[in-house]
Amino acid sequence: MADRSCWNCGAMNAPDARWCTNCNSYLGWDKEAAASGGASAPPSGAGGSGAATTESPGPAPDGGTEVGTPGGDGADGAPGGDGASAPPAGTTAAAGNGPAPGSPEVTVATPEVTLTPDEPAQVQVEVENPTKVVDGYDVVLVDPPEWLDLVVPEIHLMPGASDDVGLTLVMRPGPMVVAQRVEAALRISSQEDARRYALATVVVDVPRHGPRVGIAANPAMIRLEDVGEGEFTLTLDNRTANFPQTLNLSAKDPEDVVRFRFPSTTVEVEPGSTAEVRVGFTAPQPPPGEQRNRQLSVAATDGDGPIATTITLVQSTEAAPVDVPITVQVQPSTIRLEDAQDAEFDVLIDNRAGHSNVIVGLTGTDPEQRLSFAFTPARFGAAAGKVTKARGLVRAVPPPPGSQATHPFTVVASDGTTDVSGQAELEMTSSAAAIATAELRANPERLDLGHGRQGRFTVEIDNRRGVRPLNVAISGRSDDGAVRATFDPATILVAPGAIGYSRVSLTSPRPPAGQQGSRRLHVTASDGSQDLDASIEIEQTRPNHRPAVGRWLIALGALMVIVGALFLPWFDGIGPPQLNPVAIVQSILTSSGLQSEFVEGPVRILLVVLGVLMLLGIAGKDGGLSRKSAVLVVLLGAGYLVFLAVTPGMTLSALDVGLPVIWIGAAVGYAGGILVRMKD
C-alpha cells in the first residue's frame, strides 16, 4: 500500500494513517465520502494531490444558547486552510487572552437542572465544529464543588458539523449534600488544539429532601424526691435531611403548674446533624408523704406543625414531721412610761420546736381600743429551730397630770390559719402639772412707797421642781381695786428646772393727808387650768402739813397785828369825814364829847394784847384762841373806825397802812387757826 499524502500540507503518511503527522489533519475524508456516496476528498496540495472542498459551518440551531468564538476556514484561521500548520495532536497550545480561532460553538439547551442523590441531572449541549478538520472535544467542570461529578460521552465532529451531546451531572458518594443552587462552569475544548475552547454555565439545583426533625427526651421518666426542680435533655435529629430546620420549643403539663426553662425557645438544627437542648423545670411538690405523677409534653414546632414527645414525671415527698406551734413572748411584759406616749418592746417568735419555716404577721389589740401599734417587720419568716425577734411600738394618750393608767394589750402572730398571742401591759404615769409644783413669789413681799404713788417689784415663777415647761399668764389686782399694775412680760414660758421673772410696775393712790395707807396687791399666774397666787403689801404715808402751815400763819398774823398796832400809823391826820353816811353818824354822836387821843392809845394796847393771845393760841390743839383773838382784833379795829366816824369833831382822812396790816394779820391768823383745826 502506497503512503498517503496529506491533502492539507502534502506530507506523506502511512497508508493506514487517519491523521496527518505534520498538520494533524484528518486523512479519511476520501474513504468516508466514498462510503457515504458524498463528495470526493479534497485534492492533495503539493505533489499533485488536490484538497477537498468543504462548506462553512452554518448558524446554531434556533432556541439554543450559542457559546464560544467561531473559527476560520483553516485550522490556523487562514482562508482556505492555507497558512501555518496546526500543532500536532496531543500538544497543548498556550492560552491567550481568549479562545483561539476555530473554537467550538456551544449552545446549552438545559441551562438549569435538578440534581438529587438518586437521580443524575441530564444537560443537553449542542457542540458545533467550525473548523475544516475532524475534531474531537473534551468537556470538563471548571472548579466544581467536591460533591459534583460530570459524565461525558465521546465527542467527534466532522468539519462544520454539530451534534447534541448529553452530559450527565452526578453526586459523588460521600457526605450529604446540602440543598443549594450552584453554577457549574463547563469547558468544551478541542482535542486537536487546547487553545480552541468554549465556556458554558449550568445552574445546578440540589432540592431539599429528607424527613422532619426527630425529637426525643432523655430520660423519658424523671423521678424527684423531696425536690421541685429537675432537668432533661431534648435531642433534635436532622441527620437525614439536607436542609436546616428551625424549631420553636415549648412544653406544658395538663395542670399547667410546671414551669419550664429553655436556654432559647428557638433552635436551628443544621442539615445532617443533631442538636441537644438542656431544659430545666420547676414543679410544685406534692403534700408531705404523697406521690404525684405528671405527664410533661414537649413540642418542637416548625412550619408544618408541632412534633411532640412526652416525659413522665414522678414526684414524691417524705411524710411531714409533726410541728409544734410557735409561741409568742413580749419583752418586757410590763412596759412603764412616765411623761411619754410611745414605748418600744420586743416580740419573740419561738419556733425552736418546729420543723418548717413559718410566715407570720404581727398585729396588736387592746380591750379598751386606746392603743395603736406598729411592728418592724410586720410580716416575716420565723425559721425552724430558731427564735426570731421583731420590734414593736405602742402609743397611747398619757393620763391626766398627776395620775396613772394601766392598759393591757395582746400581740397576735398569725400564719394565715393559726393565731398565737402573747400578753403584756402598758403602765403610764404622768407627772403633776408643772403649775402644781411651781411657786409664785413677789420680791420683795412688802413694798414701801413712802410719800410716792409709783413703785416696782419682781415676780418670780419657780419651776425648778417641775419636769414640764410652764406657760403662765400673770395678772394682779388689789383689794380695793385702786392699784394699777403692769407686767413685763405678761406671759412667761418657764423651762423645767428654771425660774422665770416678770417686772411689775404699779401705781397706787396716796392715803389722806396725815395718814398712812396699806394695800395688798394680789398677783396671779394662771396656765388656764390652775392658778398660782402671791401677794405684796404696799405701804404709803401722806404727811399733814396744814397744822404746821396754820401755826405759821397764826404766828405771821399775830406779828402783823402787833407791828400794825405799835409801829405803823393809822391815819395821816383827822379831818371831817368825806362820806355822807359817816357825816350823818358823826352828827348824831357829836354830843358825846369824846376825843380821839383818849381812845387810840388804849386801842393799840388792846390790839397788842390780842396779837399776843393769837400767838399763844399756837400752843392749842385746835387753834381756837388764835381764831377768837383774830375775830376780836377785827372787831376792835372796826369799832375804832366807827368810833372815829361818830365822834364829834373827828374828821376821817385817807386810811394809812396801820389798820390794813392789822386786819390782814387778823385774817391770816384766823386762817391759820382754821388749818390747825383741820387735821383730817
- The average pLDDT across 267-286 equals 93
Distance from C-alpha of 235 to C-alpha of 240, rounded to nearest angstrom: 14
313 and 275, same structural domain?
yes
Classify residue 243 by burial, with Cβ atoms within 10 Å: 0-12, 13-18, 19+: middle
Residue 248 belongs to what domain range?
214-317
Whether the Cβ atoms of residue 89 and residue 191 lie closer than 8 Å to each other: yes
- Strands 221-225 and 305-316, by their bridges, are parallel
pLDDT of residue 320: 65
Answer yes or no: is 187 within a domain: yes
Residue 13 lies in a domain: no
C-alpha neighbours within 13 Å on the C-beta side of residue 572:
6
Is 119 a member of any domain? Answer: yes
* Per-residue CA distances from 415 to 239, 331, 587 (Å): 57, 21, 145
- pLDDT tens digits along 56-112: 333 333 334 344 433 333 333 333 333 333 333 333 333 446 889 989 999 999 999
Whether residues 342 and 368 share a domain: the answer is yes
Residues 402, 465 within the same domain:
no
- Claim to verify: residue 537 and residue 612 sit in the same structural domain: no
| 642/661 Cα distance (integer angstroms) | 18
- The conformational region for residue 677 under phi > 0 = left, psi -120 to 50 = alpha, else beta, is alpha
Domain end among 188, 206, 224: 206
Task: Tell me which of 542, 566, 601 is where a domain ends.
Answer: 542
Please indicate whether residue 323 or residue 468 has the higher confidence score (pLDDT): 468
Task: Please report which helix (H) or strand (E) contains residue 674, including its range.
Answer: helix 658-677
Give the residue among 166, 66, 79, 81 at the shortest CA–CA distance from 124: 166
- Per-residue pLDDT reduced to its tens digit, 100-150: 998 999 999 999 999 998 899 999 999 999 999 999 999 999 999 999 999
pLDDT at 493 over 60: yes
Share of the chain above pLDDT 70, in %: 80
The CATH code of the domain that includes 266 is 2.60.40.2310
38 within domain boundaries = no
Are residues 260 and 239 located together in one domain of the fold? yes
Please state, in angstroms and as integers, the Cα–Cα distance from residue 566 to each residue in 521, 560, 562, 603, following that order: 60, 10, 6, 10
CA 470 – CA 461 distance, rounded (Å): 9
Report the amino acid identity of residue 306: P
Cα–Cα dist 146/407, whole Å? 97
Instruction: Please report the beta strands in 129-161, taking only residues with DSSP state E, as ranges in sequence order.
Output: 135-142, 148-151, 155-157
Task: Please give the tally of structural domains in the chain.
Answer: 5
Write down which residue in 156, 186, 206 finishes a domain: 206
Q: What is the pLDDT of residues 377-420, one digit of tens each?
A: 989 888 888 999 999 999 999 888 778 899 999 999 998 788 89
Task: Indicate if 550 and 536 belong to the same structural domain.
Answer: no
Distance, in Å, from the CA atom of 377 to the CA atom of 395, rounded to the nearest integer, reads: 17
Claim: this prediction has a pTM higher than 0.75: no
Length of the chain: 680
Is residue 301 within 8 A of residue 272, CB to CB? The reply is no
d(CA 404, CA 337): 10
Rounded Cα distance, 13 and 26, in Å: 11
- Residue 268 predicted with pLDDT over 90: yes
Sheet of strand 470-478, all strands in order from the earlier edge strand to the far edge = 446-450, 531-542, 515-526, 470-478, 491-494
With a cut of 50, say whether residue 595 has pLDDT above it.
Answer: no
